[in-house]
Structure 1
Amino acid sequence: MTAYAIAVLRPTAPVHPEVLVYIERVQSTFEPFGGRFLSHGKSGEWREGERLGDVVLVEFPDLERARAWYASPAYQEILPMRTAHIPGELVLLDGVPDGYDASRTAAAMRAAG
């Protein structure tokens, strides 16, 4: 099942040189795990709530490969270049299976509750 790495980042100007190195190298860290950018550093159109930051969305074939990417020596080597200079959050998130129907989830919640 597809999984995602979702980061909400709050960069500040000027961009620190280490951040540029991180950006130059990050894509090569997730490609061996089947990862690919779906969105990179877009501010988006926040329709509800307040704007939290810029969004980065990376798709992986499954949660195991997303976890393996995050724990990989290649990513761990460059991670401090971003975290030292850009505050934010990152979550690894499992997708839903093909044929997912939210109404079934609501029915299960109703039955449990």
Structure 2
Amino acid sequence: MPAYWIAHVTVTDPERYAQYRAATPAAIARFGGRFLARGGESDVLEGPALDRHVLIVFPDLAAARACYASAEYQAAKANRDGACIAHVVIVDGAPDA
């Protein structure tokens, strides 16, 4: 069953955040993940407006968790730390997804 990373981000340091964006695709792909949404135009219908919305699908919950915990992703994430306000969750997909 697929699992998803859902991230809502407000970028505070675009230069540092760009380093994170450049470094993450390899880590995501190594665990079978792929971006379904990565920024782009969005409409906030409820709640606070945030700059970016990211949705990544993984083959399963174990792969999503392993990716986040990996040394490769954590090294990329070091570029993000202090460059944004991020809310990131990993959620198991619906059984019929």
Could you say which residue in structure 1 is the equivalent of 2:81? 83
Which amino acid counterpart does residue 80 of structure 2 have in structure 1? R
Alignment of 1:83-102 (within 5 A): 83-98=81-96
Q: Distance in 2 between matches of 1:50 and 1:21?
A: 26
2:64 corresponding residue in structure 1:
66
Deviations 1:48-101 (A, max 9, x none): 2332341011100111000000000100111121122111110001110017xx
Counterpart check, 1:5 vs 2:25: no
**Higher RCO structure, 1 or 2 (CA under 8 Å, sep 6+):** 2
1:57 aligns with 2:55: yes
Whole-angstrom CA distance in 2 between matches of 1:50 and 1:74 = 31
| 2:21 aligned residue | 23
Is the contact between residue 2 and residue 94 of structure 1 (CA under 8 Å) also seen in structure 2?
yes
Displacement after TM superposition at 1:43 (Å): 4.7
Tell me the residue number matched to 2:44.
46
| C-alpha contact 2:32 2:59 (8 A) present in aligned 1 | yes
Residue-pair matches, total: 97
After TM superposition, the score normalised by the length of structure 1 is 0.78
Unaligned runs of 5+ in 2: none
Segments of structure 1 that go 5 or more residues without pairing to the other structure are: 100-113
RMSD value, Cα: 1.6
Which of these two proteins has the greater Rg computed from alpha carbons? 1
